Amino acid sequence: MNDAPAFRPRIAITLGDPAGIGPEIALKAVLAPEVWEQCIPVLVGLPAVCRATAEQVGLVVSVRPTESAADLRDECGIANVLAPPGFPDVPLPAPGELDAQGGQLAFEAIAEAVRLIRAGELDALCTGPISKAALNLAGHHYPGHTELLAEMAGAPLVAMLMVGGGVRVIPATIHCPLEDVPQRLTSRRIVDLLDLIDRTMADFRIERPRIAVCGLNPHAGEDGLLGREEQALIVPAIDEARAQGIDAAGPVPADVVFHQMLQGRWDVVLAMYHDQAMIPVKTLAFDRGVNVTLGLPFVRTSPDHGTAFDIAGRGIARPDSLIAAVLLAAELTRNRRAPAKSL
């Protein structure tokens, strides 16, 4: 590890749903030398899940249970595993099995990781994929990680930033039917998100981000001919943000804004809805995209895919997105400790 940075943060990696591919890709991540060069990965979940997964998929990895973040082995190939305290010794769900117990274990791992980070024992969080259905079966009714983490951390405003393929993009609305998007968009929400983006891009070593705001409608509404949301909601929000000193522009048609970003015109894009944000990242970086939660008091990243129950336990899950998420968590944690001017 001759190229290791001076500060290698301790990154909590939650295993996610034990019946999905989360445990497999987490173990593959601790076998990756590039991960250990940049950080000390710490798996949060049951050691029994790690052992069973390693046996199922044929991974040669040393699973090392530990009760304290102060007792970590700093060695590539060692899976330091911190278990949620007091979790009962119960039968584990089979690979691909939707189960309330799996949802509860995923929840407990997230809660323990957040506790350790807020106590200063670990430095940042990278979450393995969870099943929203299993989480709900366990009695935890959240649309996803973002909302759950916001509540656990007491964060009043959070946003999902997708990073990959040279693109940084945030959806103003996330998991809702397309027909509900115009009702959920308000000028206030757009201004608040622009302010959040402006304040948090220092984690990426960008002091004054150039933010492009997508239009909602084709051609950004074509001056009202193809929709009125741009004139009624988006333009007033951009004007207010600019009056506050935020470098926001638009509305820019969604079919050109990402090309402009790849040409270097923008640092980040604020999209209006889920697929508008996801399509460019998943097209350009399907196996390496990363989700970053803005607005939390700690760095949190995750891979851009789900539990993949259909391939769990088969040994074919690719860890690329999780590894990218761990490496980005390490980079952002270092940047947050010592932010720099725009590059």
Indicate whether 309 pLDDT > 90: yes
Residue 277 sits in the same domain as residue 306: no
CATH number at residue 83: 3.40.718.10
Residue 211 sits in the same domain as residue 326: no
Q: Is 332 contained in some domain?
A: yes
Indicate whether 118 pLDDT > 80: yes
How many domains, the chain? 2
Q: Is 300 contained in some domain?
A: yes
Q: Supply the pLDDT for residue 92.
A: 82
The CA-atom distances, in angstroms, between 146 and each of 140, 184, 323 are 13, 17, 20
Q: Supply the pLDDT for residue 138.
A: 95
Residue 152 sits in the same domain as residue 300: yes
**What is the spatial order of strands in the sheet that 78-82 belongs to?**
62-66, 78-82, 40-44, 10-14, 124-127, 300-303, 290-294, 159-164, 167-171, 268-271, 211-214, 248-252
Q: Is 114 contained in some domain?
A: yes
Scan for tokens 């270092």, then name that residue. 334
Mean pLDDT across the stretch 158-179?
94
For the beta carbon of residue 302, count every other beta carbon within 10 angstroms: 29
Residue 134 sits in the same domain as residue 248: no
Cβ-in-10-Å burial (0-12, 13-18, 19+) of 307 comes to: buried
d(C-alpha 95, C-alpha 269), whole Å? 38
Indicate whether 89 pLDDT > 70: no
Q: Supply the pLDDT for residue 3.
A: 63
- CA torsion sign for 147, 150, 155, 161 is negative
- Inter-residue contact 228 to 215 (CB < 8 Å): no
Residue 111 sits in the same domain as residue 191: no
pTM above threshold 0.85: yes
Indicate whether 126 pLDDT > 50: yes
Indicate whether 257 pLDDT > 50: yes
Residue 36 sits in the same domain as residue 153: yes
Share of the chain above pLDDT 90, in %: 87
Residue 75 sits in the same domain as residue 7: yes
Mean pLDDT across the stretch 6-34?
96
Residue 23 sits in the same domain as residue 134: yes
Indicate whether 337 pLDDT > 70: yes
Indicate whether 88 pLDDT > 80: no
Q: Supply the pLDDT for residue 343.
A: 36
Mean pLDDT across the stretch 113-125?
97
- Inter-residue contact 230 to 220 (CB < 8 Å): yes
Q: Is 204 contained in some domain?
A: yes
Residue 61 sits in the same domain as residue 96: yes
Averaged pLDDT score across all residues of the chain:
93
Residue 247 sits in the same domain as residue 317: no
Mean pLDDT across the stretch 87-108?
88
DSSP state of 272: S
Q: Is 289 contained in some domain?
A: no
pLDDT band per the 50, 70, 90 thresholds, residue 338: confident
Q: Supply the pLDDT for residue 119.
A: 96
Residue 341 sits in the same domain as residue 264: no
Q: Is 10 contained in some domain?
A: yes
Indicate whether 4 pLDDT > 80: no
pLDDT band per the 50, 70, 90 thresholds, residue 93: confident
Asked which of 264, 284, 304 is the last residue of a domain, the reply is 284
User: Tens of pLDDT along 270-285?
Assistant: 999 999 999 999 999 9
d(C-alpha 47, C-alpha 54), whole Å? 11
Indicate whether 143 pLDDT > 90: no
d(C-alpha 340, C-alpha 293), whole Å? 20
Residue 115 sits in the same domain as residue 248: no
Q: Supply the pLDDT for residue 341.
A: 45
Q: Is 290 contained in some domain?
A: no
Domain that holds residue 275: 166-284
